[in-house]
A and B are shown apart, each in its own frame.
Chain A
Amino acid sequence: MKQLFTVISVLACFITQAQYTTLTAGQAAPDVKLRNVNNKEVSFASYPKAKGYIVVFTCNTCPYAIAYEQRIMDLGKKFTPLGYPVIAINPNDPEVSGADSFDEMQDLAKDKKYAFPYLYDEGQKVTNAYGAMKTPHIFIVSNTEKGRTVEYTGAIDNDTEGSNANRTRYAEDVIASLMKNEKPNVTVTKAIGCTVKRKKV
């Protein structure tokens, strides 16, 4: 019996891991259609003139997300007027991570005066569609006639602590390439982050 249980749990592990594959450059970007902290729905179509989008999976709680918060705000300030708005999504299940509840998201967005939407992903549908694994985890999406395409996935830069002034600013470099109608040189990077808190099954 115990062995059977072990087999089942091992299988369950494989299944849960296999369910979420992180989208890579070139793949179609699934729409986001989620409730913002102001209770209004936000989707890609909310920005009819956008050339692309900076989709950031981030949260209230992870020290690495907190370390990047100012840099996410700066990306929004810099690139929203250039046609690349920031759309932040909290991927954590609030039952597993209490401080990531919708109420607490509203408080944080208000306190920090977020100028971008901060969306609540009920049921983690968008999180799973993108295969967001950690916070923060960014996806840069281009908006072309052929549709919305993932151009880059990974980290914002290569210096989470923010102590190196000469850090490589992956996100900014990607958008600079897209603005020149070029494909980005780097399309995937890795960084340490907090695991997305998935709903317990």
Chain B
Amino acid sequence: MRSSFYKIFGFIFSVCCLQFTAYSQEVKMLSIDELKKRTANGKDTTYIINFWATWCAPCVKELPYFEKLGAAYKTDKLKVLLVNVDFKSKLKTNVIPFVKKRQLKSEVFMLNETDPDIYINRIDKSWTGSIPATLFMKNGKRVFSENEYNYTELVTAYKNIQ
């Protein structure tokens, strides 16, 4: 009786651990160096990198379109990367719960940088720092935009970089 209790308890405990691991993997920390390395590896892949925050209403509004694009063109060599710029202290309290609630399927990262004046220019010299902001990349081609997209505009932007 007692051993089965421990077995059940142990099982529940390990399931919880597993879930916690999977759950915390949903938002990885990402530096600009890591991002550049990542995009340099997949030469014929299109990267759509969206910079967003949980507090940014237009960002939250357009996130589903990025999700939809990723799903609609999943057989293409397309990677949608959602890079969050909330305060790092908000990772567990705001960002992870948000990602879980919205059940985001794209890869979600939190930008692991400290100095905005440096990292904003490293993403794109034209970026004023307002969000949402999106970078489209393929084979060395780059398009950077601070526009808020609807789905049609996003598909057009994706097709334009092909």
Residue-by-residue, is A1-45 near B (CB-CB < 8 Å gives 1, otherwise 0)? Answer: 000000000000100000000100000000000000000000000
Measured in the bound complex, the distance between the Cα atoms of B117 and A135 in whole Å is 15
Q: B55 in the interface, Cβ–Cβ < 8 Å?
A: yes
- In the complex, chain B residues whose CB is within 8 Å of the CB of A159: 114-115
Q: B19 in the interface, Cβ–Cβ < 8 Å?
A: no
Measured in the bound complex, the distance between the Cα atoms of B88 and A189 in whole Å is 21
Is A22 touching B128 in the complex (CB atoms < 8 A)?
yes
- In the complex, chain B residues whose CB is within 8 Å of the CB of A184: none
Q: B121 in the interface, Cβ–Cβ < 8 Å?
A: yes
- In the complex, chain A residues whose CB is within 8 Å of the CB of B48: none
Q: B64 in the interface, Cβ–Cβ < 8 Å?
A: no
Closest residue of chain A to B117 (Cβ to Cβ) is A189
Do A63 and B55 contact each other (CB < 8 Å), given the known contacts A134-B128, A194-B130? yes
Q: B120 in the interface, Cβ–Cβ < 8 Å?
A: yes
Is A190 touching B89 in the complex (CB atoms < 8 A)?
no
Q: A133 in the interface, Cβ–Cβ < 8 Å?
A: yes
Greatest chain A CB density within 10 A among B53, B58, B116, B131 is at B116
Could you say which of B116, B128, B131 contacts A160, with CB atoms under 8 Å apart? B116
Residue-by-residue, is A178-195 near B (CB-CB < 8 Å gives 1, otherwise 0)? Answer: 000000000001111111
Is A161 touching B120 in the complex (CB atoms < 8 A)?
no
- In the complex, chain B residues whose CB is within 8 Å of the CB of A160: 87, 116
A:153-201 near B, CB below 8 Å = 154-155, 158-161, 163-164, 168, 189-195
- In the complex, chain B residues whose CB is within 8 Å of the CB of A63: 55
Residue-by-residue, is B99-121 near A (CB-CB < 8 Å gives 1, otherwise 0)? Answer: 00000000000000011110011
Is A155 touching B116 in the complex (CB atoms < 8 A)?
yes
Q: Number of residues in B with C-beta < 8 Å to the partner?
A: 20
Closest residue of chain B to A13 (Cβ to Cβ) is B147
Is A133 touching B130 in the complex (CB atoms < 8 A)?
yes
B:40-81 near A, CB below 8 Å = 53, 55-56, 58
- In the complex, chain A residues whose CB is within 8 Å of the CB of B53: 192
Q: B129 in the interface, Cβ–Cβ < 8 Å?
A: yes
Greatest chain B CB density within 10 A among A62, A133, A191 is at A191
Measured in the bound complex, the distance between the Cα atoms of B113 and A164 in whole Å is 12
Could you say which of B55, B85, B128, B147 contacts A190, with CB atoms under 8 Å apart? B128
Do A193 and B129 contact each other (CB < 8 Å), given the known contacts A155-B116, A158-B117? yes
Measured in the bound complex, the distance between the Cα atoms of B56 and A63 in whole Å is 9
Measured in the bound complex, the distance between the Cα atoms of B119 and A192 in whole Å is 10
- In the complex, chain A residues whose CB is within 8 Å of the CB of B116: 155, 158, 160, 190-192
Closest residue of chain A to B148 (Cβ to Cβ) is A195
Measured CB to CB, the residues of A under 8 A from B are: 13, 22, 62-63, 67, 133-134, 154-155, 158-161, 163-164, 168, 189-195
- 9 A-B residue pairs with CB within 8 Å: A13-B147, A22-B128, A63-B55, A133-B128, A155-B116, A160-B116, A163-B89, A191-B120, A192-B85
Measured CB to CB, the residues of B under 8 A from A are: 53, 55-56, 58, 85, 87-89, 114-117, 120-121, 127-131, 147
